[in-house]
Amino acid sequence: MLRRLMGAYLNVPAGEVEFTREPCPGCGEPHGRPAVASAGAPHFSLSHGGDLTLIGVAAAPVGVDTEQVPAAHTVGEVSAALHPAERREIMAAPAVRRPAVFTRLWVRKEAYLKGLGTGLGRSPDLDYLGNGGPGTPAWPAGWTIVDVPVGTGHAAAAVRGELHSRYDVRRLDPRGLTA
């Protein structure tokens, strides 16, 4: 599906789309963000969780993530890895809402780290991507965070560098992608 989509952007058959790895921002080795090998190709990010696949395509580095809402015990175990202000937001929510609040914050975090090109190689507690409000830190400068509407049971987010043009969220039928 990714080859078909990127082939449509590049106006080439899906089979001609070649992928590579960008240099890692931490060490410079070629195990960073996946990329299309063609010069001038748009940036992309891919995520899947449960029965949902999310692909972000942009002129600037982009990251996307989607996850199924986890069980309450997972929230307790994994939220310790988040920024302290994000953990406070999760715990401030009614117990029944905590899994959904956690998942919204987690997908923002993973999408941002993918956009940076570090993935979870960068500690998730360093950057705040919470819901904001009085006394909370600002989101990382130069990044745009978009909560992607995906329905109940999942959460999804996309990030990219500063937004200088409009963005679209579209549901695509992969059978309709041709190049």
pTM, two decimal places = 0.87
Using left for φ > 0, alpha for ψ between -120 and 50, and beta otherwise, residue 50 falls in left
Q: Give SS3 for 141.
A: coil
Q: What is the pLDDT of residues 65-84, one digit of tens each?
A: 999 999 999 998 999 999 99
Q: Is 156 part of any domain?
A: yes
Q: Residue 93 burial (CB < 10 Å; 0-12/13-18/19+)?
A: middle
Q: What is the pLDDT of residue 167?
A: 58
Q: Which domain holds residue 80?
A: 42-163
Query: Do the domain assignments include residue 153?
Result: yes
CA distance 123 to 119: 9
Total number of domains constituting the chain: 1
In a domain, 28, yes or no: no
Predicted pLDDT at 19: 96
Specify the DSSP element, H or E, that contains 54: strand 52-58
- Is residue 26 in some structural domain? no
Q: How many CB atoms lie within 10 A of CB 29?
A: 9
DSSP annotation of 88 reads: H
Alpha-carbon distance of 89 to 94, in angstroms, equals 10
Residue 169, in any domain of the structure: no
CA-wise closest residue to 61 among 8, 22, 108, 100: 22
Residue 35 lies inside a defined structural domain of this protein: no
The answer to whether residue 17 is domain-embedded is: no
Question: pLDDT tens digits for 14-68?
Answer: 999 999 999 988 888 888 889 999 888 999 999 988 778 889 898 888 899 999 9
Which residue, 56, 53, 54, is CA-closest to 42?
A: 56
147 part of a folded domain: yes
What is the per-residue pLDDT across 93-132, written as a single tens digit (0 to 9) for each?
999 999 999 999 999 999 999 998 888 889 999 999 998 8
**Tell me, what's the pLDDT at 157?**
84
Here the CATH number for the domain that contains residue 103 is 3.90.470.20
User: Is the pLDDT at 179 greater than 50, yes or no?
Assistant: no
Q: Is 117 left (phi over 0), alpha (psi -120 to 50) or beta?
A: left
